[in-house]
Structure 1
Amino acid sequence: MTSRTSLVATSATLALAGSLTSLTALTSAPATAAPAPLAVPSLVEPILIGHRGASGYRPEHTLAAYELAIEQGADYIEPDLVSTRDGVLVARHENEIGGTTDVADHPEFADRRTTKTIDGRSVTGWFTEDFTYKELRTLRAEERLPQVRPDNTAYDGQERIPTLDEVIKLARREGVGIYPETKHPTYFDSIGLSLEEPLVAALEKRHWDDADDPVIIQSFETANLRDLDTMVDVPLAQLVDASGKPYDFTAAGDPRTYTDLLTPAGLAWIATYAEGVGVNKDRVLPRTGGATTVPSAVVGDAHEQGLIVHVWTLRRENQFMATNFRIGTDPNAPGDLAAEARAFLDAGVDGIFSDNPDLVAQVLDAG
């Protein structure tokens, strides 16, 4: 456990109070008012989130990946959540599991392969909502990026797909927080498998649903976060991608985009239901000619509304970095992740998602 971990509970304790303060500032403060206090003021030291666990070293979203992230100094571990046919929330980055499990090697499930429209896109494969929890437990996790991370394939076939409850129990036992993301919430609502109710129920079951508990819920969509704001007291974070728009906006005919959400007016709207934003790293350090330039206004504008800013995703391989952080020309070789992390910390972010928590932890520990 790192020194940062002791800050997790304190950070969450003040979430709702800080949120109310920021909302008051939005409605009553003059244009020249001082920045609102952050909704989750974890600024003594920024937090480190193990992105899908330590997914740079183990197949993602496995208990082994989460355990390694904790060993490497993560303050939070991130389970992305999808549903089984019988309503059990499990940790997968998307509901199609052909690329991250051995399902293709199970002849008994060959007839489950199908094509669906998910968030407006045609996707072919095997989907969690077509399996019961018991059936899903017969599968084993595999590395998503075997060509990029061949060492990780040594762990293929060793781990089951974990449930949300298993992740909560692990985090509580090890003294870290969880940062769950609801995946495809509009789609799951459309098939009668809402994610929000079982998520809240799982938190309540483990008594981890209060404002002072180390839990932050995130989503790329907005409607489900606004619903969750009425259902649970833990902090919420609005995810913002580098382009496009929330799928619930698309479904509702709302013309706003992610770029609109990062304007001062958009951030003020987010502050009415969330305590933070989780932004694609290119939103904080834009690129010109492949290299990062000066920081954008996003961090400062979000802080003005009392919102914390967490950035994703820092990965050690060159291909995932701006050119000024790369070392050599091999896209799969390690770049200078420490320099990249320092650049984002210098830009003022309050937390970093990384596939390689150990490398970011070294930077955070160095101060």
Structure 2
Amino acid sequence: MRLFLALSLSLMLASGVNAADRPIVIAHRGASGLLPEHTIAAYTRAIDDGADFIEPDLVPTRDGVLVARHENEISGTTDVASRAEFEDRKTTKTIDGASVTGWFTEDFTLAELKTLRARERLPELRGTANDGRFVIPTLDEIITLAKARGVGIYPETKHPSYFASIGLPLEATLIAALDAAGWRDAAAPVFIQSFEVNNLKQLNTMTGVRLIQLVAAEGGPADGARGSYAEMLTPEGLKAVAAYADGIGPEKTLVIPRGADMRLAAPTRLVADAHAAGLKVHPWTFRAENYFLPADHRKGEDPRAHGDLVGEIRAYLAAGIDGLFSDFTAEAVTAH
């Protein structure tokens, strides 16, 4: 089992991170509330705003290079659908049991992907002023940025079972990149996260860096390793997670639910139960727009307007969390 004390020590040692003194701020896909997600510009803005860690979601190209995209289907975050030369790449695939139609990173070489330009994933809320300005970054480019600026990285392995099934497993490529950066143990400024279980167990045999089991409010791991996320969050389930991971990344309503009036209710026992199992708790995702906020932290009726994100985060900090994912780094830093 990875012990709570060892994790605390490793956080103190993490380069450029004062995580031992306060909960860590994880820039969710970079400063994605301000700039198109998973771009060097978004990561750089998040670092400028005080992030401790920047988060790249990782998917592979056809030639096996890991790049940062929230999903392997990229029509919502790039201009690929408007590119005539790639029209014939549109297809339908089954990803984690769901039928998905679009364009997929595994059908493009890195050189081809580098010709695309990023788009805002939530244009209705965040506009399109920065569409077309930025390229898709590789994991190696993100590591170079993080090392140069003295922050950590918090990569997520996306759909690992699916990619293994098509001959593009993520794990060895990711660990090779971390090893090349000198990031091999719990003192490294790295967390690896996944919604699946078996790939985290595999990673636990390949590296000493810290691992985080992501959990959602509904459903269960796509690899079928457990029946549901709910059973993983019982005291016994959390003990089982602690055998291969250092913490959990729960959907934030699992920490503080919303009542029938959509206001924040009383915290659950999740933080206490996770801490009792020796696990850190890093909930996701904190966003400033009224559309995402609980009713008691909204300002006005416009779903695009920004409400009291700092107040919401402070409620979670009071509940004892150890870190948080936010699209708005500056507000998360202010909340501390």
**Distance verdict in 2 for CA 1:262–1:43, change over 3 Å:** farther
Conservation of the 8 A alpha-carbon contact between 1:86 and 1:133: yes
- 1:191 and 2:163 correspond: no
Candidates 263, 275, 297, aligned match of 2:234: 263
- SS of aligned partner of 2:100: strand
**Distance verdict in 2 for CA 1:354–1:262, change over 3 Å:** same
Counterpart of 1:191, as a letter, is I
**Residues in 2 aligned to 1:92 and 1:355: alpha-carbon distance in whole angstroms:** 15
CA-CA distance at 1:291 after TM superposition = 1.5
Deviations 1:76-135 (A, max 9, x none): 000000000110000000000000001112111000001111111111100000001111
Counterpart of 1:168, as a letter, is I
Conservation of the 8 A alpha-carbon contact between 1:46 and 1:349: yes
Candidates 270, 276, 279, aligned match of 1:304: 276
Conservation of the 8 A alpha-carbon contact between 1:38 and 1:306: no
**Residues in 2 aligned to 1:113 and 1:201: alpha-carbon distance in whole angstroms:** 31
- 1:213 and 2:188 correspond: yes
Give the equivalent residue in structure 1 for 2:42: 65
**Residues in 1 aligned to 2:263 and 2:221: alpha-carbon distance in whole angstroms:** 27
Deviations 1:332-354 (A, max 9, x none): 11111011010000000000110
Write the mapping of 1:217-232 to structure 2, written as runs, cut at 5 A: 217-232=192-207
Conservation of the 8 A alpha-carbon contact between 1:86 and 1:132: yes
Give the equivalent residue in structure 1 for 2:14: none
**Residues in 2 aligned to 1:231 and 1:218: alpha-carbon distance in whole angstroms:** 14
Give the equivalent residue in structure 1 for 2:51: 74
**Residues in 2 aligned to 1:287 and 1:361: alpha-carbon distance in whole angstroms:** 24
* Higher helix fraction (1 or 2): 1
Write the mapping of 1:275-314 to structure 2, written as runs, cut at 5 A: 275-289=246-260, 290-314=262-286
**Residues in 2 aligned to 1:58 and 1:44: alpha-carbon distance in whole angstroms:** 29
- 1:155 and 2:123 correspond: no
**CA RMSD for the aligned pairs?**
1.2
**Residues in 2 aligned to 1:37 and 1:298: alpha-carbon distance in whole angstroms:** 19
**Residues in 1 aligned to 2:156 and 2:171: alpha-carbon distance in whole angstroms:** 10
CA-CA distance at 1:154 after TM superposition = 1.8
**Residues in 2 aligned to 1:73 and 1:326: alpha-carbon distance in whole angstroms:** 24
**Residues in 2 aligned to 1:91 and 1:297: alpha-carbon distance in whole angstroms:** 34
Unaligned 5+ segments in structure 2 are 12-18
CA-CA distance at 1:43 after TM superposition = 4.3
Give the equivalent residue in structure 1 for 2:294: 322
Give the equivalent residue in structure 2 for 1:124: 101
Conservation of the 8 A alpha-carbon contact between 2:288 and 2:328: yes
Residue identity over aligned pairs, in percent, reads 58
Give the equivalent residue in structure 1 for 2:307: 335
**Residues in 2 aligned to 1:234 and 1:93: alpha-carbon distance in whole angstroms:** 22
Counterpart of 1:162, as a letter, is P
Q: Which moved more, 1:209-218 or 1:220-229?
A: 209-218
- 1:55 and 2:27 correspond: no
Conservation of the 8 A alpha-carbon contact between 1:59 and 1:156: yes
Deviations 1:310-339 (A, max 9, x none): 011000001111111111111111111011
- 1:145 and 2:116 correspond: no
Give the equivalent residue in structure 2 for 1:44: 21
**Distance verdict in 2 for CA 1:324–1:43, change over 3 Å:** farther
- 1:351 and 2:323 correspond: yes
Conservation of the 8 A alpha-carbon contact between 2:256 and 2:266: yes
CA-CA distance at 1:39 after TM superposition = 2.9
**Distance verdict in 2 for CA 1:307–1:38, change over 3 Å:** farther
Unaligned 5+ segments in structure 1 are 1-18, 23-35
Give the equivalent residue in structure 1 for 2:177: 202
**Residues in 2 aligned to 1:143 and 1:195: alpha-carbon distance in whole angstroms:** 26
Deviations 1:35-74 (A, max 9, x none): x647346442110000000000000000000000000000
- TM-score normalised over the length of structure 2: 0.95
Give the equivalent residue in structure 2 for 1:106: 83
**Residues in 2 aligned to 1:209 and 1:155: alpha-carbon distance in whole angstroms:** 36
Conservation of the 8 A alpha-carbon contact between 2:185 and 2:210: no
Counterpart of 1:71, as a letter, is D
**Residues in 2 aligned to 1:292 and 1:200: alpha-carbon distance in whole angstroms:** 39
- SS of aligned partner of 1:321: coil
Candidates 67, 76, 87, aligned match of 1:90: 67
Conservation of the 8 A alpha-carbon contact between 1:312 and 1:354: yes
- SS of aligned partner of 1:318: coil
Write the mapping of 1:4-15 to structure 2, written as runs, cut at 5 A: none
